[in-house]
């Protein structure tokens, strides 16, 4: 049998992610990296290059609906701090505690940017972002 989770519980779980990101005294952060995504947010970043860092809105995500939270305050713009191809992201609270990792793309990814080719000092923009709790 397959475990299935109600939309109410999925939304409650998604809301807990927002609570964790917004837990610090200031807004959370979103960091975009090149290289291979680690096993998860509890795994240290090692060998990947930080390409850009965004300060998130506070609250960071809108209200959960059917297990989905959507990044608030998009588009968000920053400038590249290193050159490379964006492949994954990490969200941290304002105390630099990692909360979530995910895939980066220009469409159809958990985090969508205007480009995955990041250059030093050149603007890069978050166009959308979502986190979805699985239904089963």
Q: What is the pLDDT of residue 24?
A: 87
What's the whole-model pTM score?
A: 0.95
In the chain, where the domains are located:
7-37+46-132
pLDDT tens digits, 42-86: 999 999 999 999 999 999 999 999 999 999 999 999 999 999 999
Does residue 111 have a pLDDT over 90? yes
Q: What are phi and psi of 111, to 5 degrees?
A: -125, 125
Q: How far apart are CA 17 and CA 2, in angstroms?
A: 24
Does residue 1 have a pLDDT over 90? no
Q: Residue by residue, what is the 3-state secondary structure of 42-65?
A: CCCCCCCEEEEEEECCCCCECCCE
| pLDDT mean over 22-42 | 96
Q: What is the pLDDT of residue 39?
A: 96
């Amino acid at each position: 049998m397959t475990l299935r989770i109600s939309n109410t519980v999925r939304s409650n779980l998604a809301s807990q992610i927002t609570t964790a990101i917004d837990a610090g005294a200031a807004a959370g952060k979103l960091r975009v990296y090149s290289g291979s995504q680690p096993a998860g947010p509890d795994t240290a970043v090692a060998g990947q290059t930080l390409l850009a860092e965004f300060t998130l809105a506070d609250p960071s995500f809108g209200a959960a609906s059917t297990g989905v939270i959507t990044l608030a305050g998009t588009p968000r713009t920053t400038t590249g701090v290193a050159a490379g191809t964006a492949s994954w992201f990490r969200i941290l609270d304002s105390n630099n505690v990692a909360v979530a990792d995910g895939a980066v793309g220009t469409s159809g990814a958990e985090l969508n940017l205007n480009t995955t080719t990041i250059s030093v000092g050149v603007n890069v923009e978050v166009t959308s972002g979502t986190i979805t709790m699985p239904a089963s």
